[in-house]
Structure 1
Amino acid sequence: MSTILPWGLLALLAALLLVATWTDLRSRTIPNWLNLAIAVLAVPFWWASNLPLWPDAVLQIGVALLIFSLFAGVFALGAMGGGDVKMIGALALWLPWQALLVMLVIMSIAGGVLTVALLIRRKLARSETPIEVPYGVAIAFGGLWVIAPVLSERILYQFG
Protein backbone atom coordinates (compact mmCIF):
# COMPACT_ATOMS: atom_id res chain seq x y z
CA MET A 1 0.00 0.00 0.00
CA SER A 2 1.31 3.42 -0.94
CA THR A 3 1.99 5.91 1.82
CA ILE A 4 0.66 8.65 -0.44
CA LEU A 5 -2.92 7.31 -0.34
CA PRO A 6 -3.89 8.83 3.05
CA TRP A 7 -2.53 12.21 1.93
CA GLY A 8 -4.41 11.99 -1.34
CA LEU A 9 -7.61 11.19 0.53
CA LEU A 10 -7.05 14.15 2.85
CA ALA A 11 -6.53 16.36 -0.20
CA LEU A 12 -9.78 15.00 -1.64
CA LEU A 13 -11.51 15.80 1.66
CA ALA A 14 -10.17 19.36 1.46
CA ALA A 15 -11.55 19.66 -2.08
CA LEU A 16 -14.95 18.34 -0.96
CA LEU A 17 -15.01 20.87 1.88
CA LEU A 18 -14.34 23.64 -0.62
CA VAL A 19 -17.19 22.37 -2.82
CA ALA A 20 -19.45 22.37 0.24
CA THR A 21 -18.46 25.97 0.94
CA TRP A 22 -19.28 26.97 -2.62
CA THR A 23 -22.65 25.24 -2.70
CA ASP A 24 -23.64 26.60 0.70
CA LEU A 25 -22.71 30.15 -0.31
CA ARG A 26 -24.52 29.80 -3.63
CA SER A 27 -27.75 28.13 -2.54
CA ARG A 28 -27.63 27.77 1.27
CA THR A 29 -27.68 24.00 0.86
CA ILE A 30 -25.11 21.23 1.07
CA PRO A 31 -26.09 18.38 -1.25
CA ASN A 32 -26.64 14.94 0.26
CA TRP A 33 -24.28 13.36 -2.30
CA LEU A 34 -21.49 15.61 -1.02
CA ASN A 35 -22.03 14.69 2.63
CA LEU A 36 -22.30 11.03 1.65
CA ALA A 37 -19.00 11.24 -0.25
CA ILE A 38 -17.29 12.80 2.77
CA ALA A 39 -18.65 10.05 5.04
CA VAL A 40 -17.91 7.12 2.72
CA LEU A 41 -14.37 8.26 1.92
CA ALA A 42 -13.51 8.10 5.63
CA VAL A 43 -13.46 4.29 5.39
CA PRO A 44 -10.63 4.06 2.80
CA PHE A 45 -8.85 6.77 4.78
CA TRP A 46 -8.99 4.57 7.89
CA TRP A 47 -7.68 1.63 5.87
CA ALA A 48 -4.89 3.69 4.25
CA SER A 49 -3.95 5.09 7.67
CA ASN A 50 -3.84 1.60 9.22
CA LEU A 51 -6.54 2.50 11.73
CA PRO A 52 -7.47 -0.68 13.64
CA LEU A 53 -11.11 -1.68 13.32
CA TRP A 54 -11.30 -2.32 17.06
CA PRO A 55 -11.40 -0.12 19.00
CA ASP A 56 -10.30 2.87 16.88
CA ALA A 57 -12.66 2.71 13.86
CA VAL A 58 -15.56 1.77 16.12
CA LEU A 59 -14.70 4.76 18.34
CA GLN A 60 -14.66 7.04 15.26
CA ILE A 61 -18.15 5.86 14.33
CA GLY A 62 -19.40 6.26 17.91
CA VAL A 63 -18.04 9.80 18.23
CA ALA A 64 -19.48 10.72 14.83
CA LEU A 65 -22.90 9.40 15.86
CA LEU A 66 -22.72 11.35 19.11
CA ILE A 67 -21.77 14.56 17.31
CA PHE A 68 -24.48 13.99 14.70
CA SER A 69 -27.05 13.44 17.46
CA LEU A 70 -26.04 16.58 19.34
CA PHE A 71 -26.25 18.73 16.23
CA ALA A 72 -29.51 17.07 15.19
CA GLY A 73 -30.83 18.64 18.39
CA VAL A 74 -29.55 22.01 17.21
CA PHE A 75 -31.35 21.37 13.90
CA ALA A 76 -34.55 20.53 15.78
CA LEU A 77 -34.30 23.93 17.47
CA GLY A 78 -34.11 25.55 14.04
CA ALA A 79 -30.62 26.90 14.59
CA MET A 80 -28.88 24.88 11.88
CA GLY A 81 -29.72 23.27 8.57
CA GLY A 82 -29.88 19.54 7.95
CA GLY A 83 -27.00 19.59 5.46
CA ASP A 84 -24.82 21.30 8.07
CA VAL A 85 -25.61 18.58 10.62
CA LYS A 86 -24.84 15.82 8.11
CA MET A 87 -21.58 17.52 7.16
CA ILE A 88 -20.42 17.76 10.78
CA GLY A 89 -21.23 14.08 11.32
CA ALA A 90 -19.45 13.05 8.12
CA LEU A 91 -16.39 15.13 8.97
CA ALA A 92 -16.30 13.62 12.47
CA LEU A 93 -15.62 10.24 10.84
CA TRP A 94 -12.26 11.54 9.65
CA LEU A 95 -10.94 13.19 12.79
CA PRO A 96 -9.62 11.79 16.06
CA TRP A 97 -11.68 13.16 18.93
CA GLN A 98 -8.96 15.65 19.94
CA ALA A 99 -8.82 17.13 16.43
CA LEU A 100 -12.61 17.07 16.29
CA LEU A 101 -12.78 19.22 19.43
CA VAL A 102 -10.39 21.74 17.85
CA MET A 103 -12.49 21.69 14.68
CA LEU A 104 -15.68 22.34 16.64
CA VAL A 105 -14.10 25.31 18.46
CA ILE A 106 -12.74 26.82 15.24
CA MET A 107 -16.09 26.14 13.51
CA SER A 108 -17.95 27.93 16.31
CA ILE A 109 -15.66 30.96 16.18
CA ALA A 110 -15.88 31.11 12.38
CA GLY A 111 -19.66 30.75 12.55
CA GLY A 112 -19.87 33.59 15.06
CA VAL A 113 -17.69 35.86 12.92
CA LEU A 114 -19.75 34.99 9.84
CA THR A 115 -23.01 35.70 11.70
CA VAL A 116 -21.76 39.07 12.95
CA ALA A 117 -20.58 39.99 9.42
CA LEU A 118 -24.01 39.13 8.00
CA LEU A 119 -25.74 41.13 10.74
CA ILE A 120 -23.55 44.15 9.99
CA ARG A 121 -24.27 43.76 6.28
CA ARG A 122 -28.00 43.62 6.98
CA LYS A 123 -27.79 46.70 9.22
CA LEU A 124 -25.84 48.66 6.58
CA ALA A 125 -28.40 47.65 3.95
CA ARG A 126 -31.16 48.78 6.33
CA SER A 127 -32.91 45.51 5.81
CA GLU A 128 -35.20 43.76 8.25
CA THR A 129 -35.11 40.35 6.57
CA PRO A 130 -33.69 37.61 8.76
CA ILE A 131 -30.23 36.44 7.89
CA GLU A 132 -29.50 32.91 6.71
CA VAL A 133 -26.04 31.91 7.88
CA PRO A 134 -24.29 29.54 5.47
CA TYR A 135 -22.88 27.52 8.36
CA GLY A 136 -21.31 25.01 5.95
CA VAL A 137 -18.68 27.68 5.38
CA ALA A 138 -17.77 27.67 9.07
CA ILE A 139 -17.78 23.86 9.21
CA ALA A 140 -15.51 23.64 6.17
CA PHE A 141 -13.24 26.31 7.64
CA GLY A 142 -12.91 24.32 10.87
CA GLY A 143 -12.20 21.12 8.96
CA LEU A 144 -9.61 22.78 6.74
CA TRP A 145 -8.03 24.41 9.79
CA VAL A 146 -7.42 20.97 11.27
CA ILE A 147 -6.27 19.12 8.15
CA ALA A 148 -4.25 21.91 6.48
CA PRO A 149 -1.16 21.55 8.71
CA VAL A 150 -1.04 17.82 8.01
CA LEU A 151 -1.29 18.36 4.26
CA SER A 152 1.18 21.24 4.15
CA GLU A 153 3.71 19.27 6.21
CA ARG A 154 3.45 16.37 3.76
CA ILE A 155 3.78 18.65 0.74
CA LEU A 156 6.85 20.36 2.22
CA TYR A 157 8.35 16.96 3.05
CA GLN A 158 7.74 15.66 -0.49
CA PHE A 159 9.02 18.70 -2.34
CA GLY A 160 11.17 20.49 0.21
Structure 2
Amino acid sequence: MTFLLPAFLFFIFTTPQLMAALNDANAMKIPNRIPLLAFAGFLLMVPLTWSGFPVLFEHLTVGLVLFAAGFAMFAFGWMGGGDAKLLAATAFWFTWPDVFLYMIYTALFGGVLTLFVMVGRQYIPVRVLTTQWAQTMFRDETKIPYGLALAAGAILTLPKSAIFQAALGM
Protein backbone atom coordinates (compact mmCIF):
# COMPACT_ATOMS: atom_id res chain seq x y z
CA MET A 1 0.00 0.00 0.00
CA THR A 2 2.86 2.40 0.66
CA PHE A 3 3.69 2.65 -3.05
CA LEU A 4 0.23 3.97 -4.04
CA LEU A 5 0.65 7.55 -2.81
CA PRO A 6 4.08 8.09 -4.42
CA ALA A 7 2.82 6.52 -7.67
CA PHE A 8 -0.28 8.74 -7.61
CA LEU A 9 1.83 11.82 -6.88
CA PHE A 10 4.21 10.92 -9.72
CA PHE A 11 1.28 10.55 -12.14
CA ILE A 12 -0.39 13.81 -11.01
CA PHE A 13 2.91 15.69 -11.33
CA THR A 14 4.30 14.26 -14.57
CA THR A 15 1.11 14.29 -16.64
CA PRO A 16 0.96 18.09 -17.04
CA GLN A 17 4.74 18.22 -17.49
CA LEU A 18 4.59 15.77 -20.39
CA MET A 19 1.55 17.54 -21.85
CA ALA A 20 3.45 20.85 -21.73
CA ALA A 21 6.53 19.34 -23.38
CA LEU A 22 4.49 17.79 -26.19
CA ASN A 23 2.47 20.94 -26.81
CA ASP A 24 5.57 23.12 -26.80
CA ALA A 25 7.43 20.80 -29.18
CA ASN A 26 4.51 20.60 -31.60
CA ALA A 27 3.12 24.13 -31.51
CA MET A 28 5.54 26.33 -29.49
CA LYS A 29 2.64 26.97 -27.10
CA ILE A 30 1.65 25.74 -23.66
CA PRO A 31 -2.11 26.13 -23.22
CA ASN A 32 -3.26 27.75 -19.96
CA ARG A 33 -5.04 24.57 -18.86
CA ILE A 34 -1.72 22.75 -18.46
CA PRO A 35 -0.16 25.02 -15.78
CA LEU A 36 -3.59 25.15 -14.12
CA LEU A 37 -3.64 21.35 -14.08
CA ALA A 38 -0.15 21.31 -12.52
CA PHE A 39 -1.23 23.78 -9.83
CA ALA A 40 -4.46 21.87 -9.17
CA GLY A 41 -2.39 18.71 -8.75
CA PHE A 42 -0.30 20.48 -6.13
CA LEU A 43 -3.44 21.56 -4.25
CA LEU A 44 -4.70 17.97 -4.38
CA MET A 45 -1.45 16.55 -3.03
CA VAL A 46 -0.93 19.02 -0.16
CA PRO A 47 -3.36 17.33 2.26
CA LEU A 48 -2.19 13.87 1.20
CA THR A 49 1.46 14.70 1.95
CA TRP A 50 0.87 17.14 4.81
CA SER A 51 4.11 18.22 6.48
CA GLY A 52 2.81 21.20 8.46
CA PHE A 53 2.21 24.88 7.91
CA PRO A 54 5.89 25.92 7.73
CA VAL A 55 6.47 23.55 4.79
CA LEU A 56 3.25 24.69 3.11
CA PHE A 57 4.35 28.31 3.53
CA GLU A 58 7.70 27.43 1.94
CA HIS A 59 5.96 25.82 -1.05
CA LEU A 60 3.75 28.88 -1.47
CA THR A 61 6.70 31.25 -1.16
CA VAL A 62 8.72 29.34 -3.76
CA GLY A 63 5.77 29.32 -6.15
CA LEU A 64 5.10 33.05 -5.76
CA VAL A 65 8.78 34.00 -6.09
CA LEU A 66 9.15 31.95 -9.27
CA PHE A 67 5.86 33.37 -10.55
CA ALA A 68 7.37 36.86 -10.17
CA ALA A 69 10.64 35.74 -11.77
CA GLY A 70 8.80 34.10 -14.68
CA PHE A 71 6.65 37.20 -15.16
CA ALA A 72 9.78 39.37 -15.25
CA MET A 73 11.47 37.06 -17.78
CA PHE A 74 8.33 37.15 -19.92
CA ALA A 75 8.15 40.96 -19.66
CA PHE A 76 11.76 41.25 -20.88
CA GLY A 77 11.06 38.81 -23.73
CA TRP A 78 13.42 36.17 -22.36
CA MET A 79 10.72 33.52 -21.91
CA GLY A 80 7.35 32.75 -23.43
CA GLY A 81 4.16 33.23 -21.45
CA GLY A 82 3.35 29.52 -21.36
CA ASP A 83 6.85 28.74 -20.12
CA ALA A 84 6.55 31.36 -17.38
CA LYS A 85 3.20 29.93 -16.23
CA LEU A 86 4.55 26.37 -16.28
CA LEU A 87 7.60 27.48 -14.28
CA ALA A 88 5.39 29.07 -11.62
CA ALA A 89 2.89 26.21 -11.42
CA THR A 90 5.68 23.66 -11.13
CA ALA A 91 7.55 25.70 -8.52
CA PHE A 92 4.66 25.36 -6.06
CA TRP A 93 5.53 21.67 -5.81
CA PHE A 94 9.04 22.43 -4.53
CA THR A 95 10.81 23.80 -1.46
CA TRP A 96 13.93 26.00 -1.73
CA PRO A 97 16.45 23.13 -1.93
CA ASP A 98 14.23 21.41 -4.50
CA VAL A 99 13.86 24.51 -6.65
CA PHE A 100 17.63 24.99 -6.71
CA LEU A 101 17.99 21.47 -8.13
CA TYR A 102 15.10 22.16 -10.53
CA MET A 103 16.87 25.26 -11.87
CA ILE A 104 20.14 23.35 -12.33
CA TYR A 105 18.46 20.50 -14.23
CA THR A 106 16.38 22.90 -16.30
CA ALA A 107 19.41 25.01 -17.20
CA LEU A 108 21.35 21.91 -18.27
CA PHE A 109 18.48 20.57 -20.37
CA GLY A 110 17.81 24.06 -21.71
CA GLY A 111 21.42 24.45 -22.83
CA VAL A 112 21.43 21.09 -24.61
CA LEU A 113 18.02 21.83 -26.17
CA THR A 114 19.15 25.25 -27.39
CA LEU A 115 22.32 23.84 -28.95
CA PHE A 116 20.31 21.05 -30.59
CA VAL A 117 17.79 23.48 -32.05
CA MET A 118 20.43 25.99 -33.19
CA VAL A 119 22.52 23.30 -34.90
CA GLY A 120 19.39 21.80 -36.42
CA ARG A 121 18.28 25.15 -37.78
CA GLN A 122 21.67 25.66 -39.33
CA TYR A 123 22.26 22.24 -40.87
CA ILE A 124 18.97 20.38 -41.42
CA PRO A 125 17.66 21.02 -44.94
CA VAL A 126 14.07 22.28 -45.01
CA ARG A 127 12.93 19.45 -47.29
CA VAL A 128 13.84 16.91 -44.57
CA LEU A 129 11.50 18.55 -42.06
CA THR A 130 8.44 16.43 -42.75
CA THR A 131 6.81 16.17 -39.30
CA GLN A 132 4.90 18.93 -37.53
CA TRP A 133 7.22 19.03 -34.55
CA ALA A 134 10.32 19.25 -36.77
CA GLN A 135 8.73 22.04 -38.81
CA THR A 136 7.88 23.92 -35.63
CA MET A 137 11.20 23.32 -33.91
CA PHE A 138 13.57 24.11 -36.75
CA ARG A 139 11.81 26.65 -38.98
CA ASP A 140 10.98 29.35 -36.42
CA GLU A 141 14.21 31.28 -36.04
CA THR A 142 13.20 33.13 -32.88
CA LYS A 143 11.72 30.62 -30.43
CA ILE A 144 13.02 27.71 -28.38
CA PRO A 145 10.45 25.27 -26.92
CA TYR A 146 11.76 25.73 -23.39
CA GLY A 147 8.79 23.83 -21.97
CA LEU A 148 10.79 20.71 -22.87
CA ALA A 149 13.63 21.76 -20.56
CA LEU A 150 11.23 22.86 -17.81
CA ALA A 151 9.41 19.51 -17.93
CA ALA A 152 12.62 17.46 -17.98
CA GLY A 153 14.09 19.42 -15.08
CA ALA A 154 10.88 19.07 -13.07
CA ILE A 155 10.52 15.34 -13.64
CA LEU A 156 14.15 14.71 -12.65
CA THR A 157 13.76 16.87 -9.53
CA LEU A 158 10.54 15.26 -8.29
CA PRO A 159 12.00 12.04 -6.76
CA LYS A 160 14.40 14.12 -4.64
CA SER A 161 11.78 16.69 -3.61
CA ALA A 162 10.37 17.18 -0.14
CA ILE A 163 6.79 16.52 -1.26
CA PHE A 164 7.76 13.20 -2.87
CA GLN A 165 9.76 12.19 0.18
CA ALA A 166 6.70 13.00 2.32
CA ALA A 167 4.61 10.74 0.04
CA LEU A 168 7.14 7.98 0.63
CA GLY A 169 6.75 8.52 4.38
CA MET A 170 10.35 9.61 4.88
Range into which the TM-score falls when normalised by the shorter chain: 0.7 to 0.9
Deviations 1:2-52 (A, max 9, x none): 873353022221122111111111111111111101011112211111231
1:30/1:84 contact within 8 Å kept: yes
Q: Deviations over 1:75-119 (max 9, x none)?
A: 111111011111111111111221111011110111111111111
141-150 vs 88-97, greater mean Cα deviation: 141-150
Q: Is the 8 A contact 1:6 1:48 kept in 2?
A: no
Deviates more, 1:77-86 or 1:117-126: 117-126
Counterpart in 2 of 1:110? 109
Gaps of 5+ in 1: none
TM-score, structure 2 length as denominator? 0.79
CA contact (8 A) 2:98 2:160 kept: no
Q: What letter corresponds to residue 48 of structure 1 in structure 2?
A: L
The letter of the residue matching 1:33 is: R
Matches within 5 A, 1:1-160: 4-52=4-52, 54-125=53-124, 130-148=141-159
Q: Contact 1:122–1:131 at 8 Å: present in 2 too?
A: no
Alpha carbons of structure 1 residues 129 and 146: separation in structure 2 relative to 1, 3 Å: closer
Q: Which has the higher mean CA deviation after the structures are superposed, 110-119 or 9-18?
A: 9-18
8 A contact 1:24–1:134 mirrored in 2: yes
Query: What is the RMSD of the two structures over their aligned residues, measured on CA atoms?
Result: 2.5
Secondary structure of 2:103's aligned partner = helix
- Post-superposition CA distance 1:103-159 (Å, at most 9, x none): 111101111111111111111147896241000000000011112568xx99xx9xx
One-letter amino acid of the structure 1 residue matched with residue 35 of structure 2: N
Q: Distance in 2 between matches of 1:9 and 1:133?
A: 29
Contact 1:106/1:145 (CA < 8 Å) preserved in 2? Answer: yes
8 Å CA contact 1:6–1:45 kept in 2: the answer is no
Greater relative contact order (Cα < 8 A, sep 6+): 2
Structure 2 gaps of 5+ residues are 127-138
| Residues 17 and 144, structure 1, Cα contact 8 Å, conserved in 2 | yes
